Amino acid sequence: MSVRPVSFRRALCAGALFVLAAGAGVAQDAPAAPPAALTAVKAAHWIDTESGRERGPVVVVIKGERIAEVRAGADVPAGATVIDLGDATLLPGLIDVHVHLTSDPTTSTGNYYRDALTRSAMDDAVLAPTLARRTLDAGFTTVRNVGAPAYIDVALRDAIDRGQIPGPRMLVATVAIGSTGGHADDSTGFSPDITFGGPSGVADGVDAVRAKVRENVKRGADVIKFMASAGVLSNEASVGAPQYSQAEMDAIVDEAHRWGKKVAAHAHGAEAIDMAIRAGVDSVEHCSFIDAEGLKLAKARGTYLDFDIYNDDYILAEYAKLGTPPAQIAKEKLVGRVQRENFRKAVQAGEKMAFATDAGVYPHGWNARQFAKMVQWGMTPMQAIQSATWNAADLLGWRDRVGAIKPGLYADLVAVKGDPLKDVSVLEHVDFVMKGGRVDKPDAAAR
């Protein structure tokens, strides 16, 4: 008997995504005319994320896809097409460094095992363009997709890059690498009579994990993601125990860096976090039970810590309704409060931190709900904004492309009504989105 579970559907469906994406682009989002030779975006306020300051009136001059000039005041160059956002606050496009654009809890039938045994990666491919659009409309113009079945994320990234469908800029990890019986092993918790097909990230031993890194790079990975520890929404008993040896983690990081790829490590438990940092990962995801040693190691090595501190609310409120196994929800109860308390400790320690939501665990388009949680648990509004702009761009290695409003970077801009430094929750209601000089979400009030 061969079936594919809903959590990591494995059918090869890049072709289906391409066809769907092309259709969506024609039916829902007819191609816009090329941007004017020169466009000027005016706003009364703007956030300089590089310096960490709010500034006064601004005119952002755009040529093609890039920012050509940032002018203080209201002086518009002759011949420019003007987009006047009035009293709005302008920010660079937001960045989420931990999403899964091939899943969304709102698609559940309410029966975990029925979904697991009746859905394939084709279902994920059908939905992915819609989820990408929701993310872009929410003001997130760049994301790092850290795990997807069947290389759907590669096909989605490429369709967006070709301009065939709207969506954020994407860095993708393809299939996450993990040990047998661990957080990336689809068959954990299912009958041994059931087998699963399609691409898999399961690998054991130094040679095998090196080979898996090479396979992911071959298939189009921009970043390598591996499971350093057990997880919450999977069927192994532990929530944070290490699932690779130090030698295996060292090999994954060494091989990925050899190919010029950064590494993100899923890790909840303190021991696994320490091991991943010692291996040289570029970021640790979740960080739930990080201890003083982990904070010390991360600070010394410049490792980014990516806490997803909103989704605990959603999991505890909604996942029982989705038919999620009670053992998984019980694991989340162990994680939520402790993770937030450790987030506060990381802020106080001055750790390098990027905005990471795990969107896909909760609905896409809700990414910005995490800003208020970050402020509640210790960040200033400016620190929270910088985590989703300048700092996130640094983690991605893309400060020459995104993360600030400055000449030479992509013209990725968002605008909100109100002052996010006084009320960061206004970022949950983005009124204007521009990506690469093209308006993807116009502000109805703009002139």
Mean pLDDT, contiguous 10-residue spans, the chain (447 residues): 39 45 46 70 98 97 98 92 97 98 92 84 94 98 97 98 97 98 86 80 97 98 98 93 98 98 98 98 98 98 98 95 94 96 98 98 98 98 98 98 98 97 98 97 72
Per-residue model confidence (pLDDT) at position 297: 98
Residue-wise pLDDT for 110-159, tens only, equals: 888 888 888 889 999 999 999 999 999 999 999 999 999 999 999 999 99
263 shares a domain with 326: yes
> Tens digit of pLDDT for each residue in 156-175?
999 999 999 999 999 999 99
User: What pLDDT is stored for residue 169 in this prediction?
Assistant: 98
User: How far separated are the first and last CA of the chain, in Å rounded?
Assistant: 60
CATH of the domain at 434: 2.30.40.10
How far does Cα 409 stand from its chain's mean position? Answer: 20
Chain position carrying tokens 């013209």: 411
- Asked if residue 296 is part of any domain, the answer here is yes
Q: Are residues 421 and 273 in the same domain?
A: no
Would the pTM count as exceeding 0.85?
Answer: yes
Q: In this structure, is residue 337 part of a structural domain?
A: yes
189 and 77 assigned to the same domain: no
Length of the chain in terms of residues written: 447
Could you please report the per-residue DSSP string of 388-430?
TTHHHHHHHT-TTTSSS--TTSB--EEEESS-TTT-GGGGGS-
Is 389 inside any structural domain?
yes
Q: 139 and 116 share a domain?
A: yes
Tokens 């976090």 identify what position? 273
- Are 374 and 317 within one domain? yes
| Residues 74 and 101 placed together within one structural domain of the fold | no
Same domain, 193 and 251: yes
Range of the domain at 436: 39-92+404-441
115 shares a domain with 81: no
Regarding whether 242 and 184 lie in a shared domain, the answer is: yes
Domain CATH code at residue 284: 3.20.20.140
Residues 209 and 348 in one domain: yes
Q: 164 in a domain, yes or no? A: yes
Q: What is the pLDDT of residue 31?
A: 58
Please indicate, yes or no, whether residues 83 and 192 belong to a single structural domain of this protein.
no
Number of structural domains the chain divides into: 2
Same domain, 292 and 362: yes
